[in-house]
Amino acid sequence: MESTRASGSDQPLDATVAVIDLPVRFAETDAMGIVHHSNYLVWFEAGRIAWMAAAGMPYSEIAAGGHHFAVTSVNVAYRTPARFGESVRVATRLTRLRSREVAFAYEVRRAGDDAFLASGVSEHICVDLQGRTAKIPDEVMAQLRQGTVAPANGA
């Protein structure tokens, strides 16, 4: 996947990564003790929220300003199952930032042994409180751009 560059920077957008560890809860597993596939989307969302917080633009501030990032597409590639009692590490990168769109890439690994579990991408469009497509507010755009050049957590 080719990354876009931050405006005024030679650094690609996806150079900044936010990493969070999450415990696998029993409620997230199926009858086989394996994490149900839908929970990876929940983990992606947690990664997105962590990335925005690390970038200095908490999602709660975007929402309080009258905007949301509605999901327009999600793609997940599953490799190895996660199980109850393990912890997963979700690494999130911003890969696209346009006037009305953002996209994030995710990598999920088992925290204990770094086994590769899944990867994915989510695409979002900025909407107002009525659900109409909107331009990302300038102050939000500026902070997200800054988050791509200021180190978040992780590597």
User: pLDDT tens digits, residue range 77-101?
Assistant: 999 999 999 999 999 999 999 999 9
- Does a structural domain hold residue 109? yes
- Between the alpha carbon of residue 86 and those of residues 41, 42, 56, 94, 143, the distances in Å are 17, 16, 30, 26, 34
Domain that residue 95 falls in: 13-149
Domains in the chain, number:
1
Does the annotation count 30 as an active-site position? yes
Helix (H) or strand (E) holding 106: strand 101-110
Give the pair of three-digit tokens for residue 72.
């327009």
- Does a structural domain hold residue 8? no
The pTM (predicted TM-score) of the whole model is 0.87
CA–CA dist 65, 62 (Å, integer) = 5
Tokens 């690390």: give the residue: 54
Catalytic pick from 10, 14, 21, 30?
Answer: 30
Give the pLDDT band of residue 150 (cuts 50, 70, 90). Answer: low
Q: What percent of the chain has pLDDT over 70?
A: 86
The stretch 35-44 carries a mean pLDDT of: 97
- Does a structural domain hold residue 143? yes
Interhelix angle 138-149/39-54, rounded to 10 degrees, is: 90
- Does a structural domain hold residue 2? no
Asked if 151 and 16 touch (Cβ cutoff 8 Å), the reply is yes
- Does a structural domain hold residue 155? no
- Does a structural domain hold residue 6? no
Res 153 pLDDT > 60:
no
Give the pair of three-digit tokens for residue 23.
């415990």
- Does a structural domain hold residue 110? yes
Looking up residue 135, the CATH number of its domain turns out to be: 3.10.129.10
- Does a structural domain hold residue 33? yes
